[in-house]
Amino acid sequence: MGMLDGKVAIVTGAGRGLGREEALLMAKEGCNLVVNDISGAEEVAKECEKLGVKVVSNNDSVTDFKKAAEMIDQAISEFGKLDIVVNNAGIIRDRMIFNMSEQDFDDVVAVSLKGTFNLTRHAAVYFRKMGKEDPEVKNFGRIINTASDSGLYGNVGQSNYGAAKSGIATFTAIVSREIAKYATVNCVVPSARTPMTTDETPKMVEWMNTKTKDGFDIFHPAHFAPLVVFLASDKAKKINGEVFRGIGDKVWVYRGWRAVKMIENDGKPFTAEGLAERVKNELMKDLPSKFEGAASQDVLFGK
């Protein structure tokens, strides 16, 4: 018995990298699939079929609102239902802000953020419809969105990608509350060796191939897929609106923006001059690092 026996899922961006590994493990766990990517989907679909499940491929762009709706319809038409959507599709166009074109920004936001909206919106309509038609069907849908370290910590040269990925985390938090009666919506933050983090980001190649002193291949993309399978399963029905970061053999749970310190002015409005003094000497003094919670080399490599 697999954790996803009889389930039906759409995995976007599944032609390579993380999406491919997620689709393969979902297939191993008994899930029927719509494998989506603008390239490579057919090959991954064939790999998944060999694992004994039913699979169809889809080459449409997640940026197209209408095509995203048709992807939902395709799953229902082929398999009679839809249980899971994994929004994995994303692209990068790294540029410093003074070199970034409008197209660089629009393309990244369109695939990552709008693509996540498109599939989530249409899936939510379906999950809500099914829940209203049968009140006994509760919290059956699973939506898993994909953010990034760039969205959590802010990587230089990725203001477009980081903004989109940070937006996905916030989008997840809000939508998870809106459709909680019918589906869970969670967010995952991978760090893995994929074409996006090697071919398209050469400076990451050495880092992404580093192993622990015991030889563990930390950044192999297959290590991340079990987190997605778990969140897609019935065993995760009580987990909603969360952000999980996974690297190698480690998983973190995150919380969003939070206040870390406050100053007040005894019931009177601040003046600009007063803020200049107190922000410097009180509010900004001894603050925790902006990167608190980021995985250090010591943590990752067991040094």
Task: State the SS3 of 19-81.
Answer: HHHHHHHHHHCCCEEEEECCCCHHHHHHHHHCCCCCEEEECCCCCCHHHHHHHHHHHHHHHCC
pLDDT tens for each residue of 174-207: 999 999 999 999 999 997 676 666 555 666 666 5
Name the one residue in this structure whose structure tokens are 């993380």. 18
pLDDT tens for each residue of 44-89: 999 999 999 999 999 999 999 999 999 999 999 999 999 999 999 9
Question: Is residue 31 within 8 Å of residue 9, measured between CB atoms?
Answer: yes
- 232 exposed, middle or buried (CB, 10 Å; 0-12, 13-18, 19+)? buried
Q: What is the pLDDT of residue 301?
A: 55
Which phi-psi region, left, alpha or beta, contains residue 13 (left: φ > 0; alpha: ψ -120 to 50)? left
243-247 vs 250-254, strand pairing mode: antiparallel
d(CA 242, CA 176): 9
- Average pLDDT for consecutive 10-residue bins of the chain (303 residues)? 96 95 98 97 98 98 98 98 97 95 98 98 98 90 95 91 97 98 96 64 65 78 92 97 91 88 95 95 90 61 54
Q: How far apart are the first and last CA of the chain?
A: 39
Q: What is the pLDDT of residue 212?
A: 74
d(CA 40, CA 59): 8
Q: What is the pLDDT of residue 200?
A: 57
d(CA 184, CA 217): 31
Q: What is the pLDDT of residue 207?
A: 59
CATH number attached to the domain at 8-254: 3.40.50.720
| 286's tokens | 């001894």
Q: Closest Cα to residue 89, out of 35, 24, 137?
A: 35
d(CA 271, CA 58): 58
Q: What is the pLDDT of residue 24?
A: 98
Amino acid at 72: I
Question: Is residue 123 within 8 Å of residue 72, measured between CB atoms?
Answer: yes
| C-alpha torsion sign, points 137, 77, 176, 65 | negative
User: Domain extents for the chain?
Assistant: 8-254, 260-303
Q: What is the pLDDT of residue 250?
A: 86
Q: What is the pLDDT of residue 40?
A: 95
Q: What is the pLDDT of residue 248?
A: 84
Number of alpha helices (DSSP H) and beta strands (DSSP E) in the chain: 11, 8
Which residues carry out catalysis?
148, 161, 165
